[in-house]
Amino acid sequence: MNKVDESIMTKANIWLNGAYDEETKSEIKRMIDTDPQELIESFYRDLEFGTGGLRGIMGVGSNRMNKYTVGAATQGFANYLKANFTGLKMVKVAIAYDSRNNSKYFAQVTADVFSANGIKVYLFDDLRPTPELSFAIRHFECQGGIVITASHNPKEYNGYKAYWDDGGQLISPHDKNVIKEVQKITDISDVKFESNSQLIEIIGKEVDQLYLEHIKSLSLSPEAIRRQKDLKIVYTPIHGTGAKLVPMALKAFGFENVFTVEEQMISDGNFPTVISPNPEESAALEMALKLADQLHADLVMATDPDADRVGIAIRKEGKMVLLNGNQAATLLIYYLLEKWRENGLLTGKEYIVKTIVTSEILIDIANKYQVEHFDVLTGFKYIADIIKDLEGVKTFIGGGEESYGYLVGDFVRDKDAVSSCAMIAEVAAWAADKGVGLFDLLKSIYMEFGFYKEDLISVVRKGKAGAEEIQHMMDDFRNQPPQRFNGSKLVLVKDHLSGIEKNLETGYEKKINLPASNVLQFFTEDGSKISVRPSGTEPKIKFYFGVKAPLAKEDEFEQVNDFLEKRIEGIKKDLGI
């Protein structure tokens, strides 16, 4: 039998003797009597309110997502909001939730606690996409917001993402300050659970309509869509929140030939048709790809449970192939800048934003159109922060990250798969109107700017020993980086922890104007980029690879692709992974 540490028993007994409901106490007693290992996992630590909020396995205990951990997080956030907005007559928040098990319940608990603290709550009547929550915060002029979601995590998980008054996720100093407030909640009696129903307003269709109208305003090629309205599109929400609004957005744009994977249109937190509801994984798109082949569709799109990220498949020489996040971003940003130029919208004050681990081709594209670009740390909250800083001064066209998240326009301040699906379908219609498919368009972009190929490897190292090993790896790369990668000389190193960029050929150093983050980037003579960073949410270290070479002719695509693949394999070998 597993021996339960005294500190864990002490914590469990606090719950047994405290103001917790009988069902919770009964489950704790069961774990003590019959399942000590589960007791250890449930109480060995407190579920941390991190810089993005909460995320964890659902269940009873201090290390689980439940009424009490969600309540404590909300109480801490409520205290911080009230302290920050003392000049307002009423502090306001918006709350949304996804299709996960218990999401609606956790959303109601959150609404109850906020209202009990005298805060006005706008609560969605049913599940809604994360980007619509961001939109609602801005529309109702709220000071904060919460969406209950664990994104693409397995079904056992749920989460709690916190937003500020600009509609973006919390960033410094608010993220760390909210964490401090949450940590001050040491007794469950500090949490006000008694709802003030008069302060909770249910919202729904009217916000959907406004949100969809804003999305429709993004369209740059309505004539092309009218001519290509029969473009065959297959869409799946993978049992998530995109089920209603993505088809509505596509219809609003004018697409009339949209097919859905009916089995996956059912909102279900058990995600019964997939192993993982993650559109980055090809297995999650299997049913959609099968339907696309049956229908001879041109485009497949799949959104994750909270509809902030989208996976894409397009037709290549008759077969459906998956695009990675960099390729989808390339098509989208190229199209946006080309159409802004064509429609006479470029004034010299426009810009795009990408994350530092996203393809450098986006910089080349921006330079061609003389559009300013910004590189930010991984996380869409940093893209939102740039938009906030430049509001009223410059115009945000679009942005994205390699992990399948994109944003067009600035009425939402988080990645938005609803508007992205509509815009990616528009790119396909625009290309079809010119007599080419999306794969042909991608090849022509590579011929103009160079063939950029990217890859990502995550090395998992679990537990305390794993965390130490990951730290040793980062120390080694920081202190003794390889001098060559696949035979190409290392010429530039960016250390985002020290904030220094060093040119190894000239010895010149300059400051990186970004917040400190444990990320290393290596740039080689042949244009390769290697980025290394520990994951902030999982026990793994991530390696991002970006290589490039000229593509002179379309029929040389496979040859150059193989060449670049070998280059990436050579770099991996030099890194020992």
Q: Which residue blocks in 92-157 are alpha helix, DSSP H?
A: 103-116, 130-139
Question: Across 323-421, where does the E strand assignment appear?
Answer: 350-355, 372-376, 395-401, 405-408
Report d(CA 497, CA 519) in Å as an integer.
Answer: 6
Q: Beta 405-408 vs 484-485: how paired, if at all?
A: unpaired
**E strand or H helix that includes residue 122:** strand 120-124
What is the CB-side half-sphere exposure of residue 570 using CA atoms within 13 A? 14
Residue 148 burial (C-beta neighbours within 10 Å; 0-12, 13-18, 19+)? buried
Are 521 and 546 in contact, with CB atoms under 8 Å apart?
A: no
Residue 285 DSSP code: G
3-class DSSP state of 491: strand
What string of H, E and C letters represents the secondary structure of 44-95? Answer: CCCCCCECCEEEEEECCCCCCECHHHHHHHHHHHHHHHHHHCCCCCCCEEEE
* Integer Cα distance of 250 and 40 in angstroms: 48
Nearest to 46 by CA among 6, 9, 11, 17: 11
Question: Is 531 strand, coil or helix?
Answer: strand
The C-alpha angle with vertex 305 and arms to 301 and 308, in degrees rounded to 5, equals: 65
Q: Please give the sequence-ordered ranges of beta strands (E in DSSP) within 228-316, or none if there are none.
A: 233-236, 258-260, 299-303, 310-316
Question: How far is residue 505's CA from residue 496's CA, in Å, rounded to a whole number?
Answer: 20
CA-closest candidate to residue 116, choices 75, 144, 145 = 75
The 3-class SS string of 149-204 reads CCCCCCCCEEEEEEEECCCCECCCCHHHHHHHHHHCCCCHHHCCCCCCHHHEEEEC
Distance (Å, whole) CA 555 – CA 575 = 32
Token digits of residue 356: 């530092």
Is the sign of the CA dihedral 323, 405, 536, 453 positive or negative? Answer: positive
State residue 50 phi and psi, 5-degree precision. Answer: -85, -170
Q: Catalytic residues, which ones?
A: 151
Q: Are 386 and 410 in contact (CB under 8 A)?
A: no
